[in-house]
Structure 1
């Protein structure tokens, strides 16, 4: 069997996959980085769906490490899976929360029945997680989940915007 993990340099908003993962903030109402790009390119349908979630099932926002899906609006994907990664801390090990962001996103992907999912480098931007460690956690967690689960997800593509992130993820994947 071929490796279900792909590492590409590019723009996650341009990926033709079933679902893209948004490194969201807990408010789900947009932000900077990947989150802002997804909301801008996806159009108002994504924000409308997020507002509906906040008005109904997530009045306090999405907790760190959890995931929820919305429409992808004008994006080429069908779904956006929003997850909140932890802010990196030099004094507290938050690795489990970062792993949970990937695990929860893949659980939602399975529930949606999607076969292809694109991830950014969760928590490695404004949340300050060191890129090499973020890549190691991401790749090892996704590999473990895919190896242990039976379900529709066949391909996980990490889409990295910077050369640094691309190199770190290639290294973590053993490429």
Structure 2
């Protein structure tokens, strides 16, 4: 089963070493405004995280779909980075273990791949965001899975990625 919960915090660090928050979804209680692909299958929901706090998340679980069609994408709204040469991304997510399914599916995936793409506008992102993937930055494999006996949707894991920009 491919079930992903996401929350995102983006910091930028301008040349003066000052940190500025570009996007923080950890306090959001209403729609996040992210773009999903495909248009169907994704659910944006509020759930309790591992600390009992209500957070806004995205979930997708379509393991009975044709494996060749099993591509699920999320994109944040366009974020202006000002003059910062680096952006730090903290992504919290959970992925359910495929072995926990009663009937394993060939379309079940246990990875989450983080991509980033530089763009000048929201329009440019919307035009190319699925067709042109962007730079691969981080891949999570089954080590970040929720164990089969622990399938609570509010378990999360954190990865940290640093993006240098030109």
Tell me whether the two structures share a fold, i.e. TM-score over 0.5: no
Structure holding more strand per residue = 2
TM-score computed with the length of structure 2 as normaliser: 0.34
Q: Which has the larger radius of gyration?
A: 2
Structure holding more helix per residue = 1
